[in-house]
Each structure stands twice: as C-alpha cells, then as structure tokens.
Structure 1
Amino acid sequence: MNDATEETRIVAQRWFDALGSGDFETALATLDDNVEWINYAPVPGYNDDMKWIGTVRGPAAVLGTLQVFTGAVDVKSEKLVNLVVEGEQAAGIIHEVSVVKETGREFDIEFIQWLTVRNGKIVRWKSYTDPSEIIRAIRDDKTAEVAR
C-alpha cells in the first residue's frame, strides 16, 4: 500500500466513524476549506423534496446541508458496510435506516460516498444512491391524503 492510499484510508475512516456516531465536529474537521460537496442534483418534481441535496462548497455550507437533513430525518442507524481505497480515492458503501420526521415513514437505503483526499483532507465528496425510498417516505402521507 502506498502512502497516499494509507493517508486516504485514515482520513476516510475518520470521516465515516465520525459521521456514523453523529460527531459532526470531527467529521467537518476532515473536510478541506474548499471541499466540493455534491449530494445529487436536484430535479424539480422528482427529488427536490429532499431539501438537503445539491452542490455546496466549504465546511460551513456542508454543515448547513447536514442540519437541513437532520432537521427533516431521524437517522436510526448508519453503518459503513465496505470501504475501498486506492491512492487519493475512497468509496464507502453505507447502509442507512432513517425516519422522515414529518411523515413518520421509514426508509432503508444503501448509498456510496465517493471521497477524494489530498493533503490529509477531503477535497471532494459525492453521493450516489437511488433516492426512490427516501422520496416515498417523504411523500407517503401526502399521497395517502390525496387518495382518500
């Protein structure tokens, strides 16, 4: 294993451990001052119910999106299932079970966080998943009321 891979593994593991335990302060400390945070692209009428998605830069903006997420969703469990690291790239597979606060509906997803690490900091973060379960949990009560 080369030095870049080892450094990336250490930073990524710190990120995932902190995030999984709800320690946002430690998680944010792993981010570069100019981190590019890409949490899907909002698509009007499809996934824009997920108010925390979009692209932002910098730890303060990332914290803002995390606060919007935790304001809307109660995370019941979030577990790193697998971590693959090569050079400055890391891909973590996460299993998450959460409840949308407004509807009380649960969603159970797996998603990938793709990290780029340079000089001991995460400079790019991108998330990949099928958001259908999340969208269904957000819209569930609204859909049920329309059907009544």
Structure 2
Amino acid sequence: MGTATTIVKQVYEAFGRGDVPAILNLIADEVDWEFVGSTNLPYAGRRKNPKEVADFFAAVAQSEDIHAFEPREFIEANEHITVLGWEDTTVRDTNKKFESEWIHVFTVKNGKITRWRGFLNTAAHYGL
C-alpha cells in the first residue's frame, strides 16, 4: 500500500467520524473536485478549492442521511486511487431510502488530493 492509498483511507476515516476539517487538510489549495451527476443533486458539479469542497460536504449532509458508507476496494495505480464502495442512504427531501454502489477516483500529488471524481447510481437516488 502506497502513500496515496494511505491518504485516501484517511479521507474515509475522517468522513466516518464526520470530521470534514480533517478531510480538507488533505486537499490541495487548487483541486479539481467533481461529483458527476444530475444538476438536480445539490452536491453535483465541480469545486476548485477546499472552501468549495467544504460546501460539497455540507450539501451532502443537508440532502442525505447516510446510514452506511463502505469503501470496499482500493485500486492503486501510482498517484491514482480508485475506490469501489457501497452506501445505504435516505434522501431527506423525499424520505426515500436507496442503496447504491459508488466509485471514487482520486489523484494524490505531494501528499495532497489534487483531483476527485465521484459517481453513484443517481437513478436509485431518485427512486427510479
């Protein structure tokens, strides 16, 4: 396990504790952070700095009640880490529960996350 994987695992540990400041400490001052999904999702879209990434986490917390969030597999390719995971969540606006596998792709350079992409089954999110 390389340094990049260690840093990414620290992100998930902090997320599990609800410690967003610890996550932000692992993000570069200039970052390319994007959840790929419908513009109907309040946390979808691109962020470029730690403040905007903090807004991403606030939007997730405001829109969803996450019951289980499990990173299950870490695939390392030098500075690139792909994480396969699963979640069990309730959408706050609709009170609909959904489960989805997800994929997160990180790039870590000089000990900081410089790029992140997140994907999940948005159709499940909307109960489709």
TM bracket (short chain): over 0.9
- What's the offset of the Cα at 1:17? 1.5
Q: Which has the higher helix share?
A: 1
The answer to whether the Cα contact below 8 Å between 1:38 and 1:125 also exists between their aligned partners in 2 is yes
Give the match for residue 94 of structure 2: 103
Sequence identity (%): 21
> d(CA) in 2 for partners of 1:56 and 1:10?
23
Aligned positions, number: 128
Matches within 5 A, 1:42-53: 47-53=38-44
Moved >3 Å (runs of 4+): none
SS of 1:136 mapped into structure 2: coil
Q: CA RMSD in A?
A: 1.5
Give the match for residue 22 of structure 2: 26
Q: What TM-score do you get using the length of structure 1 for normalisation?
A: 0.81
Matches within 5 A, 1:129-148: 129-136=120-127
Give the match for residue 73 of structure 2: 82
**Structure 1 alignment gaps of length 5 or more:** 42-46, 138-148
Q: What TM-score do you get using the length of structure 2 for normalisation?
A: 0.92
Give the match for residue 82 of structure 2: 91
Return the letter of the residue paired with 2:69.
E
**Structure 2 alignment gaps of length 5 or more:** none
Matching of residue 119 in structure 1 with residue 105 in structure 2: no
